[in-house]
């Protein structure tokens, strides 16, 4: 016959035992969290750098973006061959005085707000005009040469297409498009002013764009910069937390468990991360960050940045767990950070990398940072999606590895 | 004093001076060798110091692909088949030509999908589908050829091209107007309607040749300089703050400036090795350089030196290693953000330009570009500025360390 | 003051062997420790003292040791008993820099370590205050960062942390190292005081022979073997004439003169303890003392001063180790 009373009291004792064990564990973890915060408070400068400096950087960047003038005229030299003789399609040399179109084009160049006409060379009078212009281009005194070819006016007059040649300095990829756009603007003005019909008029509709009262440059760049800033600051916050805590071996001679110590660190730095993200986001919004869906986008963005930061935090704690010395942790951090940055797609497009590198890039967190943020900011997408789950997966792997390593790590007093 | 005695005195002074120099060099070299011993004892760190540049350049060097001009994935909706105007003049002969040109002949365009609308109801569905593709970044732009497309082309009146573009993609927005000229030009040539047509023919000067790895070489300037500055800053940012026995050393005749100098020398030697490694590997992976390789090497060393000085400054002002790490990452972020790659420096007010020009990358990038892609020699203005920045940071490091209170 | 059942066995070690790979670090060590005793573990570096303590504190894997061990009636062989063992013991490591939070106050350190035993802040602070009073840690330092305290104060805080949960056994690694000579005795006095008031069994791992003054029993280890484990009195009584010595200052003492003195048959041991000072152990001390003096005088050796004393533990340790070395040489 089963003794029900005994069984009942046994199982309640077991339940009590389990709860008291759980309570004790939670109590120990929370106390460790308190210790972490106490340690953090002793280094106020560090806290200041972690919490205040990133929003300050964003504020400075916002200020620069807003004060940067929208239009930067391109320094241009025009070399005009149009007054010279030219060879027509029947291979006859014809000398004409038709150069009226070149004069009109020159006016259009001067009218364009995207062009700052620095030099004009009449190649019919100066045979070294092009060389001189090229020298100036080489020395950086001008950014583009516009060449009006010898048959420009003649072709236009006889119904053939008029070609404007341009020689932009393409050594810096960042400015190439601006230079081409400036020349194109002068052509548009020329065509408009001289009623060169028929024209092909483009009607532009920008979807997912930033409203005109927001700074496009700031918003566009923040999409990219958010991810690597948040990831960087969260990783660096945590790379020394395990390796520099000397009393850990003594702590392990108490009932404190290794996983409790690590859990308390995760909890503590997650709270700090949450505060960091809040401050960064607030600074960005105050500096003109556009949120397509208002509060909803703000929440989505907060979650996205938090997730990115959490990946950084997990990687930082992993690095701290695996390193033997602080210098080693530091070096590992930099190696990892720079590899992740290079494979993020910010400086080198992911599509240009070999397939196996692309696979590695997709495992790393930063390649998901920019798409997830851009999706939220410009397209009003939800934070939950493929990129979010990739980030979550990376965090989980780093957390798991950290716990495994600390379990096996040898601590001796 | 007789001449002999004076000569003797001079010899004594000389000898004393010589002795002083000799002692100083001996002393400094022992400090330098102490630095090397410290680095040598941590073998894993030593491996990392030299492995990191190799890993990074290998990754970077494995990239391949085309140049900087924007490539458009597009869709086209043609409403040209819909009636417009009177029956006599109604035509839709040109839309297919245009679509074929975009599909087959354009170098900067790739046609993902096209829709020929026969009825108004079909347009809404096509539009929604294109919008979804745009949202999901399958296409960068979709064009709509209006009902009057062929009619206006035929009648040689102004033709309208409507396009919907991803406004959040700065590259697309900036490049679309110029890029559209390509299909328009080819279309007009194809249909032989080039009257009054004016277009631009660009000849890209100082570009990376198509037979070289364009992506690598265009990104080289920013990536190399960022890499070198970051690496060397990282190498030195803990060198003062993490050296436990330094306060004890202050209780010997060692002066703080000697400490800084010894660290500068030791880390510069390591920097030389690292920069040489990076330089050789970049060349091995297809770095395109029109100019002198020696000039480029000198520039890279200056960049590395700047990184060392900035790292020493961080280490001198930090009280703890955690602070040094935090400062390091903040500096690194600022250096990249304000390098001139995200904001055109010339568009900024003067005061802000000064801030940007006090950071190394705003000089390092133009220096590298002028050598590799323009074949120029070292731009003295940028080179001197870069070295002045290094000296300034070194000086600040010395002042900060001098003021720093160290106690045993 | 805690009442302690001194008959209760706190630590029982039987036939402990520890080896790491091929190297045997501890060989067949056995001892018993009763509740409330202070045990000194003495030996030169590499003797195996720390290794034994590491086994007792569950820091060494079972695969590296064998033997029968019970500590507070628990078996360190069983992993599921480790937590209980760690709750019953305390450990005070040697170097404070490596085991305390220097940026935190003593109270904050106490709270952190106390919480691992389930002690809430209030109770921990109360106990800490009592311990700080016993250990004479000034009240004005309780809320200042630990790094601002003197070396001795840091050491005492470390001891207090080891006792915060009122363990049954406390292990102290080199408790007097780094403490100046004047304060060393003070530290030992504090430990004795704590032992009396709290009844905590204590293990002192030390090179400091002075620590033997407070030890109930001393263990001498060499090359992993336990040479002696007894009360100090019993150890000293093992010496010739139960440890009685005559201390002589001989003018112009040299090896030749020592050899002459050694010629006196009843002498068992001569130790040179100073430039001109020797200590002599001999059989039938009272009987032979006079004869020794006569012998020395007859051999034209000038005695500047003479005194009689009982050998200290330090002397016993010295002799014991020497004897063991000579045995090994043979």
Same domain as A151, residue A229: no
Query: Quick check: C180 contacting A, CB < 8 Å?
Result: no
Q: From the CA of A404, how many Å to the nearest CA of chain B?
A: 21
- Residues of chain B with C-beta less than 8 angstroms from the C-beta of A159: 194-196
* Identity of the residue in B42, B222, B333 whose CB atom sits nearest the CB atom of A347: B222
Same domain as B306, residue B158: no
CB-count exposure of residue A191 (10 Å: 0-12, 13-18, 19+): buried
Same domain as B293, residue B387: yes
- Residues of chain C with C-beta less than 8 angstroms from the C-beta of A250: 91, 93, 98-100, 113
Token pair of B345 as six digits: 């420096």
Q: From the CA of C107, how many Å to the nearest CA of chain A?
A: 11
We report the CATH number of the domain holding residue C46 as 3.40.50.300
CB contact under 8 A, B64 and A352: yes
Separation of alpha carbons A45 and C245, rounded Å:
64
Sign of CA dihedral C50, C51, C54, C60: positive
CB contact under 8 A, C115 and A246: no
Same domain as B216, residue B150: no
Quickly list H helices, A43-76: 44-51, 53-67
> Which of A73, A155, A200, A201 should one mutate to test binding to chain B, selecting the residue with the greatest count of B CBs within 10 A?
A200
Residue A2 predicted with pLDDT over 50: no
pLDDT of residue A86: 59
DSSP state at residue A106 = H
Same domain as A78, residue A53: no
Type and span of the H or E element at C48: none
The number of C-alpha atoms within 13 Å of C295 and in the hemisphere containing its C-beta is 16
- Residues of chain B with C-beta less than 8 angstroms from the C-beta of A358: none
Residues 262 through 281 of chain A touching chain B, CB cutoff 8 Å: none
Question: Any idea which residue has 């300050």 for tokens?
Answer: A56
Let me know if residue A12 belongs to a domain.
no
* Domain end residue (candidates: B162, B190, B218): B190
* Domain end residue (candidates: B128, B163, B190): B190
Ordered strands of the A144-148 beta sheet: A115-122, A74-80, A144-148, A162-168, B198-202
Let me know if residue A24 belongs to a domain.
no
Same domain as B76, residue B60: no
Residues 174 through 193 of chain A touching chain B, CB cutoff 8 Å: 174-178, 180-181, 183-184, 187, 190-191
Let me know if residue A132 belongs to a domain.
yes
Separation of alpha carbons B36 and A172, rounded Å:
39
* Domain end residue (candidates: B190, B219, B236): B190
Same domain as A106, residue A45: no
Q: From the CA of B87, how many Å to the nearest CA of chain A?
A: 23
Let me know if residue C80 belongs to a domain.
yes
E-strand ranges in A180-244 read 200-207
Same domain as B91, residue B41: no
CB-count exposure of residue A233 (10 Å: 0-12, 13-18, 19+): buried
* Domain end residue (candidates: A161, A193, A225): A193
CB contact under 8 A, B200 and A349: no
CB contact under 8 A, B204 and A176: yes
Same domain as C187, residue C73: yes
Separation of alpha carbons A251 and C112, rounded Å:
9
Give the phi and the psi of residue C33 in degrees, each rounded to 5: -130, 130
- Partners for A (CB, 8 Å, 3+ pairs)? B, C
Same domain as A156, residue A132: yes
pLDDT of residue A1: 39
The answer to whether residues B74 and B143 touch, using CB atoms and an 8 Å cutoff, is: yes
Separation of alpha carbons C152 and A194, rounded Å:
95
Same domain as A83, residue A57: no
Let me know if residue C323 belongs to a domain.
no
Same domain as C245, residue C213: no
Same domain as B398, residue B316: yes
CB contact under 8 A, A412 and C97: no
Residue C1 predicted with pLDDT over 50: no
Same domain as A225, residue A124: no
Same domain as C202, residue C249: no
Question: Any idea which residue has 């450990």 for tokens?
Answer: C91
The answer to whether residues C25 and C224 touch, using CB atoms and an 8 Å cutoff, is: yes
Let me know if residue A2 belongs to a domain.
no
We report the CATH number of the domain holding residue B130 as 3.40.1710.10
Same domain as B391, residue B335: yes
Average pLDDT over residues C209-213: 88
Let me know if residue B12 belongs to a domain.
no
Measure the CA angle with vertex C261, ends C258 and C264; round to 5°. Answer: 150
CB contact under 8 A, A166 and B374: no
* Identity of the residue in C86, C115, C165 whose CB atom sits nearest the CB atom of A28: C115
Same domain as B85, residue B45: no
Let me know if residue C316 belongs to a domain.
no
DSSP state at residue C74 = B
- Tell me which chain A residue has its CA closest to the CA of residue B194: A161
* Residues recorded for chain C: 330
Separation of alpha carbons B5 and C33, rounded Å:
84
Question: What residues make up the domain containing A81?
Answer: 74-193
Higher model confidence: residue A48 or residue B37? A48
Type and span of the H or E element at A361: helix A355-363
pLDDT-wise least confident of A141-150, B10-19, C79-88: B10-19
The answer to whether residues C117 and A255 touch, using CB atoms and an 8 Å cutoff, is: yes
E-strand ranges in A38-178 read 74-80, 86-87, 93-94, 115-122, 144-148, 162-168
- Residues of chain A with C-beta less than 8 angstroms from the C-beta of C108: 35, 38
Let me know if residue C2 belongs to a domain.
no
CB contact under 8 A, C91 and A253: yes
Same domain as A317, residue A175: no
pLDDT of residue B42: 65
Same domain as A154, residue A50: no
Question: What is the three-class DSSP state of C300?
Answer: coil
Q: Judge if the upstream peptide bond of residue B125 is cis by omega within 30 degrees of 0.
A: no
CB contact under 8 A, A202 and B162: yes
* Domain end residue (candidates: C212, C231, C250): C231
Residues 67 through 106 of chain A touching chain B, CB cutoff 8 Å: 67-70, 72
Same domain as B366, residue B309: yes
CB contact under 8 A, C57 and A256: no
Same domain as A84, residue A60: no
Count of domains for chain B: 2
CB contact under 8 A, A156 and B374: no
Give the phi and the psi of residue C29 in degrees, each rounded to 5: -95, 130
The answer to whether residues B135 and B165 touch, using CB atoms and an 8 Å cutoff, is: no
pLDDT of residue C226: 94
Same domain as C200, residue C260: no
Same domain as A121, residue A55: no
Would you tell me how many other CB atoms lie within 10 Å of the CB of residue C178? 15
pLDDT of residue C4: 57
Query: Quick check: C199 contacting A, CB < 8 Å?
Result: no
- Tell me which chain B residue has its CA closest to the CA of residue A353: B63
Same domain as C184, residue C245: no
Let me know if residue B86 belongs to a domain.
yes
pLDDT-wise least confident of A100-104, B113-117, C102-106, C285-289: A100-104
Same domain as C144, residue C66: yes
Q: From the CA of C243, how many Å to the nearest CA of chain A?
A: 38
Count of domains for chain C: 2
Let me know if residue A321 belongs to a domain.
yes
Q: From the CA of C326, how many Å to the nearest CA of chain A?
A: 34
Give the pLDDT of chain B (408 residues) as one tens digit per residue.
Answer: 455 555 655 555 555 666 767 766 766 777 777 777 766 666 666 776 777 777 777 777 766 665 666 789 999 999 988 877 666 656 677 888 999 999 998 888 999 999 998 888 889 999 999 999 988 889 999 999 998 888 888 888 888 899 999 887 878 888 888 888 889 989 988 888 777 777 788 887 777 777 777 777 788 888 889 889 988 898 888 888 777 666 666 666 667 777 888 889 888 988 998 899 888 888 887 788 888 999 999 999 999 999 999 999 999 999 888 888 889 999 998 898 888 777 777 778 888 888 889 999 999 999 998 899 888 889 999 999 999 999 999 999 999 988 887 665
CB contact under 8 A, C112 and A35: yes
Let me know if residue A204 belongs to a domain.
no
Q: How far is CA B336 from the centre of its chain?
A: 8
Q: From the CA of A257, how many Å to the nearest CA of chain B?
A: 25
Separation of alpha carbons C135 and C124, rounded Å:
16
E-strand ranges in C183-276 read 201-206, 217-222, 225-230, 244-250, 267-272
**Mean pLDDT computed over every residue of chain C:** 89
Would you tell me how many other CB atoms lie within 10 Å of the CB of residue A121? 21
Same domain as B78, residue B57: no
Question: Any idea which residue has 């006859």 for tokens?
Answer: A92
Residues 97 through 116 of chain C touching chain A, CB cutoff 8 Å: 97-101, 103-104, 108, 111-113, 115-116
- Residues of chain C with C-beta less than 8 angstroms from the C-beta of A253: 57, 59, 86, 89, 91
We report the CATH number of the domain holding residue C291 as 3.30.70.100
Same domain as A159, residue A118: yes
Separation of alpha carbons A98 and A79, rounded Å:
17
Same domain as B294, residue B263: yes
* Identity of the residue in C86, C101, C120 whose CB atom sits nearest the CB atom of A254: C86
Let me know if residue B9 belongs to a domain.
no
- The percent of residues in chain A predicted with pLDDT above 90, rounded, is 33
CB contact under 8 A, A42 and C145: yes
* Identity of the residue in A254, A412, A413 whose CB atom sits nearest the CB atom of C117: A254
Same domain as C88, residue C188: yes
Count of domains for chain A: 2
Question: What residues make up the domain containing B320?
Answer: 32-64+209-403
Let me know if residue C321 belongs to a domain.
no
CB contact under 8 A, A177 and B227: no
Query: Quick check: A48 contacting B, CB < 8 Å?
Result: no
**Mean pLDDT computed over every residue of chain A:** 85
Let me know if residue B171 belongs to a domain.
yes
For A164-199, write each residue's pLDDT tens digit: 999 998 887 778 888 999 999 999 999 888 888 667
A-C contacts at Cβ under 8 angstroms: 75
pLDDT of residue A88: 61
A-B contacts at Cβ under 8 angstroms: 332
The answer to whether residues A269 and A242 touch, using CB atoms and an 8 Å cutoff, is: no
Let me know if residue B94 belongs to a domain.
yes
Same domain as C281, residue C226: no
Let me know if residue A369 belongs to a domain.
yes
Same domain as A164, residue A89: yes
**Cα–Cα distance list, B130 to A389, B127, B140, B266 (Å):** 27, 5, 10, 60
Same domain as C95, residue C200: yes
Let me know if residue A157 belongs to a domain.
yes
DSSP state at residue A353 = S
Question: What residues make up the domain containing C81?
Answer: 9-231
DSSP state at residue A91 = S
Q: From the CA of C84, how many Å to the nearest CA of chain A?
A: 8
CB contact under 8 A, A349 and B45: no
Same domain as B49, residue B135: no
Separation of alpha carbons C156 and C151, rounded Å:
9
Question: Per the confidence metrics, is the pTM higher than 0.95?
Answer: no
What is the bridge-based pairing of β-strands A144-148 and A74-80?
A: parallel
């Amino acid at each position: 016959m089963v003794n029900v009373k005994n069984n009942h009291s046994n199982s309640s004792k077991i339940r009590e035992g389990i709860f008291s064990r759980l309570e004790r564990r939670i109590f120990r973890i929370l106390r460790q969290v308190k210790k972490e915060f106490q340690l953090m408070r002793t280094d106020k400068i560090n806290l200041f750098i972690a919490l205040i400096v990133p929003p300050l950087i964003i504020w400075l960047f916002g200020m620069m973006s807003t004060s940067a003038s929208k239009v930067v005229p391109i320094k241009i030299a025009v070399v005009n061959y149009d007054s010279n003789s030219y060879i027509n399609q029947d291979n006859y040399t014809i000398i004409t005085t038709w150069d009226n179109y070149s004069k009109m084009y020159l006016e259009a160049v001067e009218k364009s707000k995207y062009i700052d006409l620095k030099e004009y060379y009449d190649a019919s009078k100066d045979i070294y005009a092009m060389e001189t212009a090229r020298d100036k281009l080489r020395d950086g005194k001008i950014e583009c040469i516009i060449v009006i070819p010898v048959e420009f006016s003649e072709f236009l007059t006889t119904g053939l297409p008029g070609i404007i040649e341009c020689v932009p300095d393409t050594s810096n990829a960042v400015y190439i498009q601006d230079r081409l756009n400036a020349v194109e603007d002068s052509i548009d003005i020329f065509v408009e002013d001289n009623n060169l019909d028929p024209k092909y008029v483009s009607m532009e509709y920008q979807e997912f764009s930033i409203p005109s009262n927001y700074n496009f440059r700031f918003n566009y760049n923040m999409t990219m910069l958010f991810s690597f800033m948040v990831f960087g600051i969260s990783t660096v916050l945590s790379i020394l937390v395990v390796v520099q805590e000397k009393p850990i071996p003594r702590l392990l001679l108490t009932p404190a468990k290794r996983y409790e110590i690590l859990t308390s660190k995760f909890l503590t730095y997650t709270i700090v991360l949450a505060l960091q993200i809040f401050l960064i986001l607030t600074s960005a919004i105050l500096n003109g960050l556009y949120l397509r869906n208002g509060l909803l986008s703000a929440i989505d963005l907060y979650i996205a940045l938090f997730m990115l930061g959490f990946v950084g935090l997990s990687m930082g704690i992993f690095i701290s767990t695996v390193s033997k010395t602080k210098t080693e942790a530091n070096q590992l951090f930099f190696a990892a950070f720079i590899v992740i940055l290079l494979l993020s797609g910010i400086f080198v497009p992911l599509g240009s990398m070999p397939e196996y590198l692309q696979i590695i890039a997709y495992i790393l967190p930063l390649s998901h940072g920019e798409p997830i943020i851009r999706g939220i900011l410009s397209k009003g997408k939800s934070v939950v999606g493929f990129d979010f789950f990739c980030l979550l997966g990376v965090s989980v792997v780093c957390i798991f590895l950290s716990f495994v390593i600390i379990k096996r790590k040898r601590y001796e007093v | 004093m007789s001449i002999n005695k004076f000569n003797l005195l001079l010899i004594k002074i000389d000898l004393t001076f010589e002795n002083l120099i000799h002692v100083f060099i001996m002393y400094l070299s022992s400090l330098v060798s102490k630095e090397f011993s410290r680095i040598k004892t941590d073998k894993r760190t030593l491996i990392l110091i030299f492995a990191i540049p190799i890993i990074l350049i290998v990754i970077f060097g494995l990239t391949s692909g085309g140049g900087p001009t924007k490539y458009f994935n597009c869709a086209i909706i043609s409403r040209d088949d819909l009636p417009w105007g009177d029956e006599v003049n109604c035509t839709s002969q040109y839309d297919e030509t245009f679509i074929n040109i975009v599909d087959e002949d354009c170098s900067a365009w790739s046609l993902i999908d096209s829709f020929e609308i026969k009825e108004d109801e079909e347009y809404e569905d096509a539009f929604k589908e294109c919008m979804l593709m745009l949202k999901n970044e399958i296409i960068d732009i979709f064009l709509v050829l209006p009902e009057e497309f062929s009619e206006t082309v035929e009648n040689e009146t102004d033709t309208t091209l409507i396009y919907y573009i991803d406004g959040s993609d700065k590259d697309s927005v900036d490049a679309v107007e110029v890029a559209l000229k390509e299909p328009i030009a080819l279309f007009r040539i194809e249909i032989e309607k080039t009257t009054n047509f004016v277009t631009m023919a660009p000849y890209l000067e100082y570009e990376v040749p198509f037979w070289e790895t364009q992506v690598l070489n265009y990104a080289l300037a920013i990536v190399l300089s960022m890499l070198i500055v970051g690496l060397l800053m990282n190498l030195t940012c803990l060198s003062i703050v993490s050296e436990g026995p330094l306060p004890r050393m202050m209780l010997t005749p060692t002066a703080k400036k000697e400490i800084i100098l010894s660290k500068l020398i030791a880390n510069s030697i390591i920097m030389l090795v690292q920069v040489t490694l990076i330089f050789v590997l970049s060349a091995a992976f297809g770095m395109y350089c029109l100019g002198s390789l020696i000039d480029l090497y000198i520039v890279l060393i200056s960049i590395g030196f700047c990184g060392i000085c900035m790292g020493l400054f961080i280490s001198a002002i930090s009280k703890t290693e955690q602070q040094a790490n935090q400062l390091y990452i903040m500096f690194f972020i600022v250096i990249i953000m304000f390098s001139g790659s995200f904001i055109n420096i010339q568009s900024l007010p003067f005061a802000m330009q000064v801030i940007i020009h006090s950071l190394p990358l705003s000089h390092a990038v133009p220096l590298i570009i002028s050598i590799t892609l323009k074949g120029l020699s070292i731009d003295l203005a940028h080179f001197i500025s870069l070295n002045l920045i290094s000296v300034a940071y070194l000086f600040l490091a010395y002042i900060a360390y001098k003021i720093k209170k160290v106690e045993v | 003051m805690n009442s302690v059942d001194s008959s209760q066995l706190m630590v029982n070690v039987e036939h402990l062997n520890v080896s790491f790979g091929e190297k045997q670090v501890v060989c067949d060590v056995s001892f018993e420790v009763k509740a409330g005793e202070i045990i000194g573990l003495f030996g030169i570096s590499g003797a195996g003292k720390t290794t034994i303590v590491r086994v007792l504190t569950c820091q060494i894997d079972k695969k590296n040791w064998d033997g029968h061990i019970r500590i507070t009636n628990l078996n360190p062989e069983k992993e599921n008993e480790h937590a209980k063992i760690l709750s019953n013991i305390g450990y005070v490591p040697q170097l404070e820099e490596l085991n305390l939070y220097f940026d935190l106050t003593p109270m904050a350190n106490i709270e952190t370590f106390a919480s691992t035993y389930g002690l809430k802040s209030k109770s921990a602070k109360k106990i800490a205050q009592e311990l700080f009073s016993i250990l004479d840690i000034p009240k004005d330092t309780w809320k200042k960062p630990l790094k601002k305290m003197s070396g001795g104060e840091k050491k005492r805080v470390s001891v207090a942390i080891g006792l915060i949960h009122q363990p049954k056994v406390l292990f102290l690694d080199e408790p007097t190292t780094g403490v100046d000579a004047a304060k060393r005795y003070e530290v030992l006095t504090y430990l004795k005081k704590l032992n009396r008031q709290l009844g905590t069994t204590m293990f002192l791992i030390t090179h400091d022979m002075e620590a033997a003054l407070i030890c109930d029993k001393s263990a001498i280890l060499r090359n992993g073997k336990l040479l002696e484990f007894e009360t100090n009195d019993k150890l000293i009584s093992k010496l010739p004439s139960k440890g009685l010595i005559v201390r002589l200052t001989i003018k112009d003492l040299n090896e030749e003169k020592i050899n002459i003195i050694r010629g006196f048959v009843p002498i068992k041991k001569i130790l040179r303890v100073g430039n001109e000072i020797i200590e002599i152990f001999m059989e039938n001390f009272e009987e032979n003392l006079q004869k020794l003096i006569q012998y020395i005088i007859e051999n034209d050796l000038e005695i500047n001063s003479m005194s009689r004393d009982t050998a200290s533990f330090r002397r016993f340790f010295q002799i014991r180790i020497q004897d063991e070395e000579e045995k090994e040489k043979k």
